Amino acid sequence: MDKKNLNDAISAGYDSWILRDKRNLLIGFSIVMHTPDLSHLLLIAIKKDFQRKGFGSLLLNWCEKKSREKSSGISLEVRSSNDIAISFYKKSNYKCIGIRKNYYRDKNLCEDAFIMEKLFHKCEQNGK
């Protein structure tokens, strides 16, 4: 998501959350758009110095908690090359359900997106 899309998403009033530390310093943020069937995780990011300390999972759990009030699951797109994010989502029981070919177009470069999804009722059935 580029800066313009980020500003557009915040202006559109999508749910946006910021995670801060005790000194009020920014750790990370996330943006979720809800529709009646699924919520869409548009962005989640943790500042480099704070990565791999569980903050991303904390924020993702929060997004899921808020989305459970409005929809039956979360879907998202992730760059096919973003191995870290793919591992991150898989660890939280997101499944890859499809590919959007050439979804990301930056100047001359195109990249596929994996569509990942977590359906809440399935997690409850599996106790997750």
Residue 44 binds ligand COA, judged by CB under 6 A: yes
Please pick, from the candidates 45, 96, 115, 123, the single residue that binds ligand COA as defined by CB under 6 A.
45
Q: Which of 56, 67, 52 is nearest to 15 (CA)?
A: 67
Dihedral angle over CA of 81, 40, 3, 7, nearest 10: 180
Residue 54 binds ligand COA, judged by CB under 6 A: yes
Residue 115 binds ligand COA, judged by CB under 6 A: no
Comparison of 18 and 36: residue with beta carbon closer to ligand COA: 18
Residue 78 binds ligand COA, judged by CB under 6 A: yes
Q: Which of 108, 44, 106 is nearest to 74 (CA)?
A: 44
53 DSSP 8-state letter: S
Q: Which residues bind ligand COA (CB under 6 A)?
A: 43-46, 51-57, 78, 82, 84-85, 87-88, 91
